[in-house]
Amino acid sequence: MPTALITGATAGLGAAFARRLASDGFDLVLLARDTARLERSAAELRDRYGVDVEPLTADLSTDAGLEAAEERLRKGVDLLVNNAGFGQQGVYLNVPVADEVRMLRVHCEAVLRLTSAALPGMLERRKGGIINVASVAAFFSRGTYGASKAWVVSFSQAVMRDLGGRGVHVMALCPGFVRTEFHERAGMDVSGIPGLLWLDQNLVIDAGLRDLRRGVGVSVPGLQYKAIVGVGNLIPRGVADRLSSRAGRRFD
């Protein structure tokens, strides 16, 4: 059976990826910080889908966590989903610098190091895939979060160009608003976000896996978000950035 390693695997899109890939017959390596929650998730997936599930407790904002993830990836996986991430409770200059640096480590350094650990084995077998979960925020100015996700998109595109079609595909997945624990954990008040802008988790997963198979470099799930990104490229950058900065930026 193929094996997928998913970071941030016990909540939100990570948990949705785990369920979908298990239903597709993948054995799983689930990486997250909460050991008890990891073990519950692993047991549920084993019982429901009959696949092997390996829990891996690791905090990707630490050297030890990054090294544990790299060590497991060097043993070989068929699919890596770099999904771990978080939002900040506040805007730039209201957030401690240490928290911003932690975000960069999880969103950027972890994606770089885990991609680098997974690729050699994939290239040797001439097959495999990496999904780096970014965000529609990558295309607009939204503080450190948007900047880190813009880096994920640029990095993923650059890696694909450097690989030059060697049987392995790297893709940035850029969802918009998805109903998960993400906003609650960040203390964001999203009550003013129109219903049209909310995406179903399964739609995001379906679009991402389909686009990975098709060799798409940057996947933007949902027609509404494809339109938003397209229009954002046409209107003045300052106007687009002001609109983006207001959306979902109220904090409880």
Q: What residues are labeled active site?
A: 145
Residue type, 9: A
- DSSP sequence for 181-198: SHHHHTTEE-TTS-GGGE
Report the run of H or E that residue 30 belongs to, with start and end: strand 27-32
Q: Which residue has the tokens 């972890």?
A: 110
Phi, psi of 221 (to 5 degrees): -70, 145
CA separation for the pair 228, 79 (Å, rounded):
29
Query: CA quadruple 28, 29, 32, 33: dihedral positive or negative?
Result: positive
Q: Residue 16 carries which DSSP code?
A: H
Query: Contact at 8 Å (CB) between 88 and 99?
Result: yes
CA dihedral 226, 139, 101, 112 (to 10 degrees): 70
CA separation for the pair 89, 27 (Å, rounded):
35
Query: Contact at 8 Å (CB) between 63 and 89?
Result: no
Closest CA to 184 of 11, 35, 31, 19: 11
